[in-house]
Amino acid sequence: MPRPLEALAAFALIIITLPLTLVTLLISSIFIGFPPFYNSIRTGRYGSEYTHWKIRSMKRGRETGRVFFEAHRINRWGRLLRRLHLDELPELFLILAGRMSFVGPRPLPAFLMRGLDTSIRETVRPGWTGLAQLCLLRKGKLDKRLQIRLDSYYVSRRSTSYDLKILMATLLGVFRSRAMNLDAEGSADRIAFTNSSSPMKPES
């Protein structure tokens, strides 16, 4: 997606969602604790590190980046935040600042990527959503090697139309209701989105 269009869209969404963001921050301060923000160092484009901001969804001091190992520590409000992705509202500011894009590989702590070849995924900005995230069921988990493979697949085929298709799949939940072919050429690595009860993976 062209950077000027992305920045304009991020700015518009910040204005539109500002009341929701403020209410979310207030409720999080009450049910999870103050401050309501959580920040961590993530790896961005070209391997550069930056401070990543989210709304806190776990008790202070409990976040380590290993989300799936700590899911049992999240209270009801925290689970709601993650299910509705409200904890990611501050990422709009990161998109506006040029640290992130709407679509791209999700930003991850460096320690989670140790031993993996991340050179391809780091040629683009990390994204709010991405191809790998469409294969991640909310109550499941995605193998890191598969995630790297999907991120690399996305980078090799990225385009404005492809980004919009992934955004539509994310926002409208198409990937949970019916098959959606994200590769018009029918590659063997095509990703099919189904109602499967297990994390989705590339067709073989």
The string of pLDDT tens digits covering residues 22-34 is 999 999 999 988 8
Query: Mean of the pLDDT values across residues 14-24?
Result: 96
* pLDDT band at 142; cut points 50, 70, 90: low
| Per-residue confidence (pLDDT) for residue 73, from 0 to 100 | 65
Name the percent of the chain lying above pLDDT 70.
Answer: 74
| Per-residue confidence (pLDDT) for residue 173, from 0 to 100 | 60
Cβ distance 132 to 117 under 8 Å? no
13 has pLDDT over 90 = yes
Q: What's the rounded Cα separation, in Å, for the pair 191 and 70?
A: 28
Side-chain-side CA neighbours of 28 within 13 Å: the count stands at: 27
* Higher-scoring residue by pLDDT: 112, 154: 154
How many CB atoms are located within 10 Å of the residue 72 CB? 6
Cβ distance 1 to 160 under 8 Å? yes
Task: Write the DSSP string, 22-81.
Answer: HHHHHHHHHHT-SS-EEEEEEE-GGG-EEEEEEE--S-TT---S-GGGSGGG--HHHHHH
| Per-residue confidence (pLDDT) for residue 43, from 0 to 100 | 87
How many CB atoms are located within 10 Å of the residue 43 CB? 22
Tell me what the pLDDT averaged over the chain comes to. Answer: 78
Q: At what angle do helices 76-83 and 3-31 cross, to 10 degrees?
A: 170
| Per-residue confidence (pLDDT) for residue 184, from 0 to 100 | 37
Query: Mean of the pLDDT values across residues 138-161?
Result: 80
| Per-residue confidence (pLDDT) for residue 176, from 0 to 100 | 54
132 has pLDDT over 90 = no
Query: Mean of the pLDDT values across residues 173-193?
Result: 41
* Beta strands per DSSP E along the chain: 37-43, 49-55, 101-103, 127-129
The CA-to-CA distance between both ends of the chain, in Å, stands at 29
Q: At what angle do helices 160-172 and 144-157 cross, to 10 degrees?
A: 130
